[in-house]
Chain A
Amino acid sequence: DAGITQSPRHKVTETGTPVTLRCHQTENHRYMYWYRQDPGHGLRLIHYSYGVKDTDKGEVSDGYSVSRSKTEDFLLTLESATSSQTSVYFCAISEEIESKNIQYFGAGTRLSVL
């Protein structure tokens, strides 16, 4: 499982409240990603990180921010949660194997914004 832990696994919150999701890895991978998965859309990239304090936006970054103050943790923050952010969130890391890039995913966080 590439040593990826997402927390919490489930969360229910109210519109307008801040929410932080945590992705923790134990194998010192440089690249980390946050995706969201919604019915009919597959997985979509929110933000990614290519090192400590180095992050960039994905295709659906509005309303989200990220931080990576140490290699093992990549945090996703919803500053003011909205119902449209109800989704399943997956964290992933990249592992380069024989010069090929393979991503490994965490178990996901199911977030409901009421």
Chain B
Amino acid sequence: DAKTTQPPSMDCAEGRAANLPCNHSTISGNEYVYWYRQIHSQGPQYIIHGLKNNETNEMASLIITEDRKSSTLILPHATLRDTAVYYCIVRVRDIKSNFGNEKLTFGTGTRLTIIP
């Protein structure tokens, strides 16, 4: 799986959009970008994923650059409950052949703090 690089920490004011960057310059064509987050003392939580198109769900938006070497997770209206560590993960697309070894490599992520 491609390696990802994220800033260790970020702050964002409550109510503003939080934009979390991720660099994955070695990503290959069959690798998806996944985002998870981990709120203190809880298990990781899936947020969103994408391959090459921008994606949006009820939690966040994912913007992937055209060359796919980087992406940005956007939390449109951050709340205090969004304070967490956010992990950007790149995973191989062909889940059928790799399903038996679908481990997640989390890295150290970005610690996002929402400021009141």
Contact = CB atoms under 8 A, between A and B. Distances in A.
A43 B41 contact: no
Given A31-B99, A101-B102, A108-B41, A42 B46 contact: no
A59 B103 contact: yes
Contacts, number: 58
Contacts of A94: 99, 102
Interface in A55-71: 56, 58-59
Contact of A56 (B41, B95, B101, B106): B101
B42 A48 contact: no
Nearest to B43: A105
A97 to B, nearest CB: 10
Interface string A24-43: 00000001010100001011
A43 B107 CA distance: 8
Interface residues of A, number: 26
Sorting the interface of chain B by its residue count into under 10, 10 to 19, 20 to 34 or 35 or more gives 20 to 34
Nearest to B105: A42
Residue from the set A58, A94, A100, A107 with the largest chain B CB neighbour count within 10 Å: A100
Interface string A80-114: 00000000001010101001111111111000000
A108 B102 contact: no
A42 B95 contact: no
Interface string B18-31: 00000000000000
B43 A108 contact: yes
B33 to A, nearest CB: 12
A100 to B, nearest CB: 6
A45 interface: yes
Interface of A: 31, 33, 35, 40, 42-43, 45, 48, 50, 56, 58-59, 90, 92, 94, 96, 99-108
